[in-house]
Amino acid sequence: MSKDVRRIPDATIARLPRYHRALLELVATKASTVSSDELADLAGFNAAKVRKDLSYLGTYGTRGVGYDVDNLRRQIGRELGLTESWPVVIVGIGNLGRALATYSGFATRGFRIAALLDADPSKAGSPVGSLAVRPTSELVAIVEAEQVAIGIIATPGAAAQDVADQLVAAGVKSILNFSPAVLSVPDGVAVRGVDLAVELQVLSYYQHHRDDLVVSA
């Protein structure tokens, strides 16, 4: 009895945030409508992809005119679940954790930092931005009290799996992992990893093979 479960391709979902951000910029300008071509430019893709991606969400464009900036932004936001800001916890308040805690982009793009946690008791109480660092033992209470669904891991790799287990036990269903460790979590918990060194190594590959690529014919 499930209606038509509109299945949006993963590749499209990964691009929606970029559209969303581009539209936020457009809102700031006077622009009230935008064409797939312009949006492609702003988001860094091509027009055909933009149209196909947006078509999965529904028919929000007007032929001959383009897309209504404000409406489209709202639709994408709704699809991404950004209608109200998600509370997130950051675990591991080293240099990276501190940087994430003070990153303004989270607040402006749909997220609210509910708490900063660190296993090191000597860090507890010290302020980072407007929040104080709290001991990891308070995790369960915080997650429950604030209905936290997303956790960010910014610990060293060695501690990451342990923290992940605690997050899962506390009821967190989505994890963003900045440590280089590969996490194993039960079904139903989503994990996304960002490994800073991995990104550099990929660049290193293309840098290293630049000349190969030019060779042809």
Partner DNA sequence: CAACGCTTGTGAATTTGTGCACAAGCGGCC
Partner DNA sequence: GGCCGCTTGTGCACAAATTCACAAGCGTTG
Q: Which residues bind a copy of itself (CB under 8 A)?
A: 2, 5, 13-14, 16-18, 20-22, 42-44, 79-82, 86, 88, 94-96, 98-100, 102-103, 105-106, 108-111, 149-150, 152, 173-176, 180, 182, 188, 190, 192-210, 212, 215-217
Helix/strand/coil for 171: coil
What is the Cβ-side half-sphere exposure of residue 74, based on CA atoms within 13 angstroms? 5
201 binds, among a copy of itself, DNA, none (CB under 5 to 8 A by kind): a copy of itself
203 binds, among a copy of itself, DNA, none (CB under 5 to 8 A by kind): a copy of itself
Q: Does 55 bind DNA (CB under 7 A)?
A: yes
Give the 3-state secondary structure percentages of the chain, helix then strand then coil, rounded to 5.
Answer: 50, 20, 30
30 binds, among DNA, a copy of itself, none (CB under 5 to 8 A by kind): none
Between 47 and 159, CB nearer to DNA: 47
d(CA 28, CA 35): 17
Do residues 133 and 93 lie in contact, with contact meaning Cβ atoms separated by under 8 Å? yes
- Residue 179 corresponds to which tokens in the numbers above? 């440590």
Number of helical (H) and strand (E) elements in the chain, helices listed first:
10, 10
- Residue 205 corresponds to which tokens in the numbers above? 């590959």
Looking at 24, 42, 60, 193, which residue binds DNA (CB under 7 A)?
60
- Tell the smallest beta-carbon distance from residue 74 to a copy of itself (Å): 15
CB atoms within 10 A of CB 132: 13
What mask, x for binding DNA by CB under 7 A, covers residues 15 to 54?
-------------------xxxx--------xxxx-xx-x
Length, in residues, of the chain: 217
Do residues 117 and 95 lie in contact, with contact meaning Cβ atoms separated by under 8 Å? no
- Residue 181 corresponds to which tokens in the numbers above? 């460790």
- Tell the smallest beta-carbon distance from residue 48 to a copy of itself (Å): 18
- Tell the smallest beta-carbon distance from residue 187 to DNA (Å): 15
**Which spans of this chain sit near DNA (rule: CB under 7 A)?**
9-12, 34-37, 46-49, 51-52, 54-55, 59-67
